[in-house]
A = this chain, B = another copy of it.
Amino acid sequence: MGLTKTEKFTALQNEIAQFAKVFGHPARVAILEHLFKINSCVCGDLVNEIGLAQPTISQHLKELTHLDLIQGEITGNSLCYCINAQKWSKMKTVMQQFLNQDLTAINCC
């Protein structure tokens, strides 16, 4: 089938999975890390930085934009992407709640 049965899960579970999924490719991790490093916003040197073809980077950027984790703005004839700090914070809250589940009660077989 290849089709995730999202209706079987809670909105939060689907949200966590959606965020995680977008981080589930090293190119997108690398793009985000680069955008954090270049603390002002930065655009298309990502292609040189990452070393994948331009359409490939463009596609990864699209997925990040789609979740609103980054935003792009046209400056001249180039396009400037940057982290959406507010959305990143919200995402972080969701993900950390998942990661911080109580380990102390774990009592393995």
Contact = CB atoms under 8 A, between A and B. Distances in A.
Contact of A23 (B9, B83, B98, B108): B98
Given A99-B95, A100-B92, A103-B89, A29 B50 contact: no
A26 B41 contact: no
Interface string A1-31: 0001110111001101110111111111110
21 contacts: A4-B25, A8-B27, A8-B51, A13-B33, A14-B26, A17-B25, A20-B24, A21-B21, A23-B98, A24-B24, A36-B101, A36-B102, A39-B105, A41-B109, A82-B107, A82-B109, A83-B106, A83-B108, A85-B103, A85-B106, A96-B99
